[in-house]
Structure 1
């Protein structure tokens, strides 16, 4: 009795099946009752950059010398078409005075607008007199919920003073006073709110989609719920585990990671369940005893399922080497989710199938020919055909790759390569505002600032220098730069009077790639001014902070992570395939085909997003996220299909093994691919562009793997290479067995 067979009996035997089910019920129940949920431990304010990054060091200097490093601004944008009235301005001054005497929670400072004479106050208006921007500063250590509490208190104050709700008034086509909250605080609140609001709709949408697809594909109400039950129990274990680990400080979880983890869990988890269920259904057509059929199914499918899950887990764990916080925070939730789901698909799902038996597939119950004949005889009617088999698609893909592998390879490479070419046209952005719906408050406020003032006012660049007592005209030098709109008067440091700070407003969107690329130029110009003034060691006496500088560091850190993680993922998958297949050649072309599929998905995704949806750029994190998911998940299907060919070639010629392997795995991989692509496509329905882009590209990649790479390209290459596909293994054993049988 093999180890796999013993394992199958331990989890799905006569008594073991009930013990396994009970163990999962107890585990999910106790963990959920005793440990905190992951959502209760969310930290959406965790830093993404380490203390060694220049922008973070600049924030430290700003906090120490100017007391503003710990403050982040919320910009209140006041607007009335036709011009703000004196009554509006007096009301705003009263509003400012009230915030000064009765500050909102976590508010640290507000400019004393009430002390300004009305004529001087009017000078702060936009050129057409319609718009005014007033900052309110908050504690940088406050989390998003605390910032939101402070903003809501200020909004209540506004409504009481003005007698109406200017936050609800439309900006365009309306002469009423309107207010929008933007700036770092407003953007942060809106960004987090989008993901929090998406959690419930994402969960419901994903569950509904998976259920509908399972019903349409398998036409069995019982079977449709089995994967969902398994995912539900797995989630009941994963959620408190992540909450406990976050509470202990071992990991950090945020709303974005948990949202995408839910999609991954339902998509990949359902796939693993289907791999086993499909093998069980096949065995039920040849084995009369359902228990024995299940044992054989577990024995045959467990290796591929375990290897597929391990591939994804290790690929996601590669994100642990990332320096950028958001990438690093994804590693633990994603890998733990897949690991637990893999265990559930190998234990809980077999136990449920063992309990329900053939009834799992009602009303299209698979039976052996003898069982169908016996049932027909009892009813006195001719035996019915296997309806499920009649519904199965003809194995034309298997016949095609066997008869014309060269043509299939050429056609697939042309199609995939053609899409991959478009990756050279992709443009990326780190502008978080572009991910927001156009009617989002912070985006509307920013649009007003860009239209009525300088867009750089939204987030000025803070330039700080240590003059060493030298006389320096930095303001003049920086103002002379063509991309700088204005430079503030210098502020003097508290502990070191030689340290001066300037607020530099750029003449462009401070969140744009163009603005980020100006950071090195600003630094070079500042260092040059210091050197010309006679200061020594100018390079280490310049600090540049602010949102634009932070995003510049974000880009550099992300580029570093991408260059490191991509080869690590490829290396890990290569080692796993070598271990599982014992074939160098097969490992090489399996990895290369998935990489080609990734670039094809990225190129086709860009075509749709750019030419179909009008997107000028995709978020800078999309290529890395898509790579990790697509390469890992795409290899799942290759492993499941190629393992079938590997098993069959031991007892039949290669052409027959390829033909039957493609046909045998075709329906389940197609079903699994449609479900996985559908779950990621759910992300594209959310009002968050970064999720739309990630969901669309990942769904496209899964579909390319499902309908091009797995059924055509990989088996065609296997067929074309022949015995070399198994090198250094021995492929001639199968032909020898076939020859001996013919004798």
Structure 2
């Protein structure tokens, strides 16, 4: 019987104590610097949707032209005061005093209003907020001022771009700490159940938290240097991804460490053996996720480009922590880390039984699973594929073409309520008009085309100071001209953040370009439209790149073509099934109006990269066992010894991503569900049944054209592995 040596029992002092202590102290230093930086990420982040678009987007070009027409970069805040009955003349007169109070706040240029609605039940003011003013503070000040001065019995709202942006920032504000607590608490409970130990879960969580501190330090530096554009979504995803990935890698290392402790009494020797055994799968797994995330750099959306290096930096830190800090902690603690259920030394003659079926020495759930796979492999994998295909049918219900901005925030929002009030009493697009940039010589024709569109309520050329040319007494009568261009404001009949408004923008672009080929249509609605269009283009570009990269890495790791192709196909099918089920849940249970256009892309990158992770953990162990025992016994052996740790890792990752649901932003709630459900589906069905059963059915050819396939085809295991002899049915008990 072949015996595997663990490591030399005699280990020098510097390796036993000095290196572990130095590593722990180094990580303590990183955590000490990176931890306080956590609260400073807001200094280098932005949630401005327009800044996410590429410079070539029409909305971006229009925004650049708008900047030439104003002396300062201002964001409009729309104040709406709503009454149950028509405002009396006395009440309207009193609102003139409010205008004076608003101007006294000195938030930006001149306040416009009061503007009464046609039904006289609402009044609006437009308050420009300068870029030098903190938006959240300015909106709060406006709300306090308006609430105090409004007539009794009325409702007041501050909405428009400024109000919505402030409420979005408030939804993210202070959530990072809550998100981290929820994620760590969930992981801690799961680890307690898995390890039945108090000390070991703490060590694993310390590894994850220290990895996050290092990642925050790295990301802050990149954002401060201007290399990346950070936003609130990226911050939340970074925390979850690092905690989940670091814990997953730690689980794999700890499993190998526990196994090594059954072969030796020397904790340092056990750490070295565990490190050598887990290094390749952890490195391959981390590299796969990092490279897949960096594929987001091919995106045209700056927000996607930012998430790529942010998340990749997080995975890199998780990788280093799992391969340096955790081994150092285990070297210092040894068996004590597992207290009170410390691993016992197994007699040498019982450590590695001769395998016939691959399940010798195994018991419980994974023996039963292996038995099922060995008895009915084709039935198992065909049934699994059919189940996934049925789930993928839900993709027909997926509506990932963007959602109204008023639906993005899932909690109560004064700005969202204000948009509803605007829609009740004014043109729904009031306060966020479309902006047309036209040639001065074609201005009249372009204006006529804009006014003729059924989706436009009213449209005006803009004079100096962005004041509309309405023909009213005191209004300007000549347009403001900059470099031969003029601006036209068009108030849309539909809410600016609605899909109907986006259709109007598409029509306007076609109509005005027929008159002036150089005309541009921008504004809030155009920005949302261009963002959705760009996101859908990214999906087509990035998915093939990610798949090719992952396939190449798997080929290098497994020295095969057949196995990597099947693994990639399995995770793609798993992704489609997860997205199909998610679409059904979003539409019929959560009642969401749709999904952000970036949700399928982010779901794909995370699910495919992380799904391949578990297949790497499984198949690297299967290959290791196949080299010693043959492919089919190796498959069952690999499944049984990795089943518990990989399932635990999947549950941990699902729990951490589910924690994203505490952030009341629709995009993050949807991403949390897709990834959490998808990881569980991949862990329970794909990795536990589909992949092992398919590999078992194929046999040694799974390693084609590698040496392992050729060696087993010509070895003494030929008859058993090729299926020339009947397969051994493994009893469940």
TM-score range, shorter chain: 0.7 to 0.9
Q: Is the 8 A contact 1:653 1:738 kept in 2?
A: no
State the shift of 1:632 in Å: 0.6
Which residue in the other structure is 1:315 paired with? 292
Give the whole-Å Cα distance in 2 for the aligned partners of 1:50 and 1:97.
Answer: 40
Establish whether residue 461 from structure 1 lines up as the match of residue 464 from structure 2: no
Which residue in the other structure is 1:157 paired with? 145
Q: Is the 8 A contact 2:117 2:425 kept in 1?
A: no
State the shift of 1:395 in Å: 1.9
State the shift of 1:424 in Å: 2.3
Moved more, 474-483 or 336-345: 474-483
Q: Is the 8 A contact 2:20 2:328 kept in 1?
A: yes
Residue aligned with 1:134, SS = strand
Q: CA RMSD in A?
A: 2.9
Establish whether residue 663 from structure 1 lines up as the match of residue 666 from structure 2: no
Establish whether residue 110 from structure 1 lines up as the match of residue 88 from structure 2: no
Structure 1 residues 723 and 369: alpha-carbon distance in aligned structure 2, compared to 1, 3 A threshold? closer
Establish whether residue 445 from structure 1 lines up as the match of residue 445 from structure 2: no
Give the whole-Å Cα distance in 2 for the aligned partners of 1:305 and 1:356.
Answer: 22
Q: Is the 8 A contact 1:39 1:243 kept in 2?
A: no
Q: Is the 8 A contact 2:62 2:520 kept in 1?
A: yes
For residues 117-266 of structure 1, the aligned pairs below 5 Å read 124-127=116-119, 129-139=120-130, 141-142=131-132, 146-159=134-147, 161-162=149-150, 176-266=153-243
Structure 1 residues 274 and 12: alpha-carbon distance in aligned structure 2, compared to 1, 3 A threshold? farther
For residues 6-45 of structure 1, the aligned pairs below 5 Å read 13-29=16-32, 37-45=40-48
- Long gaps (5+) in structure 1: 114-120, 167-174, 374-388, 531-537
Moved more, 283-292 or 194-203: 283-292
Establish whether residue 356 from structure 1 lines up as the match of residue 333 from structure 2: yes
Moved more, 481-490 or 593-602: 481-490
Q: Is the 8 A contact 1:9 1:16 kept in 2?
A: no
Structure 1 residues 390 and 402: alpha-carbon distance in aligned structure 2, compared to 1, 3 A threshold? closer
State the shift of 1:630 in Å: 0.5
Of 270, 273, 278, the residue aligned with 2:247 is 270
Residue aligned with 1:698, SS = helix
Q: Is the 8 A contact 2:480 2:486 kept in 1?
A: no
Which residue in the other structure is 1:385 paired with? none
Q: TM-score if structure 1 supplies the norm length? A: 0.86
How many residues align structurally? 685
Establish whether residue 58 from structure 1 lines up as the match of residue 62 from structure 2: yes
* Per-residue CA distance 1:622-681 (angstroms, 9 max, x = gap): 001101101111110000000111000011122211111111110001111111001111
State the shift of 1:737 in Å: 6.9
Q: Is the 8 A contact 1:36 1:243 kept in 2?
A: no
Which residue in the other structure is 1:341 paired with? 318
Residue aligned with 2:458, SS = strand
* Per-residue CA distance 1:221-254 (angstroms, 9 max, x = gap): 1111111100122122222222222222222322
Give the whole-Å Cα distance in 1 for the aligned partners of 2:383 and 2:287.
Answer: 32
Give the whole-Å Cα distance in 1 for the aligned partners of 2:558 and 2:375.
Answer: 25
State the shift of 1:720 in Å: 1.6
Of 691, 709, 713, the residue aligned with 1:731 is 709
Give the whole-Å Cα distance in 1 for the aligned partners of 2:379 and 2:11.
Answer: 46
Of 479, 494, 514, the residue aligned with 2:480 is 494
Which residue in the other structure is 1:395 paired with? 367
Give the whole-Å Cα distance in 1 for the aligned partners of 2:167 and 2:80.
Answer: 16
Give the whole-Å Cα distance in 1 for the aligned partners of 2:688 and 2:35.
Answer: 42
Of 613, 634, 644, the residue aligned with 2:611 is 634
For residues 449-598 of structure 1, the aligned pairs below 5 Å read 449-468=422-441, 472-488=444-460, 491=463, 492-496=478-482, 499-528=485-514, 530=515, 538-540=516-518, 542-598=519-575
* Per-residue CA distance 1:304-342 (angstroms, 9 max, x = gap): 011101111111111122221111111222101110110
* Per-residue CA distance 1:278-328 (angstroms, 9 max, x = gap): 111122233333332222211111110111011111111111222211111
* Per-residue CA distance 1:89-109 (angstroms, 9 max, x = gap): 233211112333x2434x223
Structure 1 residues 42 and 476: alpha-carbon distance in aligned structure 2, compared to 1, 3 A threshold? closer
For residues 366-377 of structure 1, the aligned pairs below 5 Å read 366-369=343-346
State the shift of 1:276 in Å: 0.6
Give the whole-Å Cα distance in 2 for the aligned partners of 1:689 and 1:16.
Answer: 46
Give the whole-Å Cα distance in 2 for the aligned partners of 1:218 and 1:440.
Answer: 43
- Long gaps (5+) in structure 2: 351-360, 464-477, 721-733
Residue aligned with 1:427, SS = coil
Q: Is the 8 A contact 1:405 1:720 kept in 2?
A: yes
Residue aligned with 1:281, SS = helix
* Per-residue CA distance 1:28-61 (angstroms, 9 max, x = gap): 3356689994344333448112332211221222
Establish whether residue 290 from structure 1 lines up as the match of residue 267 from structure 2: yes
State the shift of 1:26 in Å: 2.9
**Over 6 Å off, 4+ runs:** 8-12, 33-36, 735-738
Q: TM-score if structure 2 supplies the norm length? A: 0.88
Give the whole-Å Cα distance in 2 for the aligned partners of 1:305 and 1:198.
Answer: 31
